Structure 1
């Protein structure tokens, strides 16, 4: 996830799909709210979600995508730990007010704090909202469209915030009880696909995971 978060944090697309919709703003907001209500019925609410991931990042000018895989933990009110195992081990810890990257040996390779980079707080909240499918926060950061059916749900997200829109063109989410796939399109033309594997709910963080957020 390091490449994804760094692109998102340091990640302009006018939401033309919505501009082409002739429905009044109030009607569009109601449609979006109805969708989120249906998605909420499917999502599993848990204090901790753990799983694995595979990520492909396509960069303009490169024929082959960059691939990585590993494991993650998303904890309410704490943040995200994204542990890359292949091709090289690294760990990214995203907290509400900071972002830290560590090498495989535990040495810190990057540190960003909201007090130095005020936009980081917004970006981290957006990333947490995407990974945890926090519907209240998603509605805050994005224009929402999509569909929900018995087999799962899909959401297309376009940034409301002009600052986010400078870096991030859109996000597409698919899921059921948990997020299954995240597709990110950056304004500069790069894109990422993150496939979530074996996601499961847990009641609390392990001691080792809790130590990552200290």
Structure 2
């Protein structure tokens, strides 16, 4: 789940047509809601075939993250400041709270600083490799240097133009995750009634 959370929340840090980290941070303030479709391909050490999943996500600054995987099986993940709720194939939801797992939510708070593209926090926790590729295209390589991220990932690579288009995660277990994002939308800049119900949860 931590890998899904990282990959999704990094969307905020990277949704920009910027060519500097400072511009990424400025752009963040004007992106209160992001919607996107994803294709996730996981290459797991010891498995011959990669695992491919499809779905869509919704990130709202005030409410949190809603991640919905539609294939090969249905899984929904809701994450906010106080709880993580996972629902698998319409089974009863599993709820983890900040009280029951404080380490998870310490990790979550670090990510909140990360997806705000806070340059100070990024430099404290990562070795940065930001490159302007021209024509508004950019890449950002993040090599963790602080816990808990350095215990999970070797490196995180992001790439995009106006919006984040690709996330590559290289983890300590030898697994690799590639997430391709498409159909990214920032309008309307407020949640619909149906979208609000997604964050209601148990």
Structure 1-normalised TM-score?
Answer: 0.75
The Cα shift of 1:210 comes to 1.5
What are the residue-to-residue correspondences of 1:16-35 with 2, within 5 Å?
35=20
Query: Is the aligned partner of 1:121 residue 2:116?
Result: no
Unpaired stretches in structure 1, ≥5 consecutive residues = 9-33
| 1:138-172 deviation per Cα after TM superposition (whole angstroms, max 9, x unaligned) | 44542321202333111011223232211122111
Which range is displaced more, 159-168 or 39-48? Answer: 39-48
Question: Residue 7 and residue 147 in structure 1: after superposition, are their counterparts in 2 closer, same or farther (change >3 A)?
Answer: closer
Q: Of 112, 116, 138, which residue of structure 2 is paired with 1:134?
A: 116
Q: Of 166, 176, 195, which residue of structure 1 is paired with 2:180?
A: 195
State the match for 1:47 in structure 2.
Answer: 32
The Cα shift of 1:129 comes to 6.1
The Cα shift of 1:200 comes to 0.8
Q: Of 92, 97, 101, which residue of structure 2 is paired with 1:107?
A: 92
The Cα shift of 1:79 comes to 1.4
Distance 1:102 1:180 in 2: 26
What are the residue-to-residue correspondences of 1:4-83 with 2, within 5 Å?
4-5=3-4, 35-40=20-25, 45-83=30-68
Which range is displaced more, 42-51 or 163-172? Answer: 42-51
Q: Of 139, 144, 164, which residue of structure 2 is paired with 1:159?
A: 144
Q: Of 164, 168, 174, which residue of structure 2 is paired with 1:183?
A: 168
- Greater Cα radius of gyration, structure 1 or 2: 1
The Cα shift of 1:47 comes to 1.1
Unpaired stretches in structure 2, ≥5 consecutive residues = 8-18
Q: Of 135, 154, 160, which residue of structure 2 is paired with 1:169?
A: 154
How many pairs were matched up?
A: 185
| 1:76-126 deviation per Cα after TM superposition (whole angstroms, max 9, x unaligned) | 132111100111111011212321111232621x32222222221233245
Is the Cα–Cα contact under 8 Å of residues 79 and 128 in structure 1 kept in the other structure?
A: no
* CA RMSD, 1 decimal: 2.7
State the match for 1:21 in structure 2.
Answer: none
Question: Residue 211 and residue 128 in structure 1: after superposition, are their counterparts in 2 closer, same or farther (change >3 A)?
Answer: farther
Is the Cα–Cα contact under 8 Å of residues 39 and 153 in structure 1 kept in the other structure?
A: no
Q: Of 79, 86, 89, which residue of structure 2 is paired with 1:94?
A: 79
Query: Is the aligned partner of 1:145 residue 2:129?
Result: yes
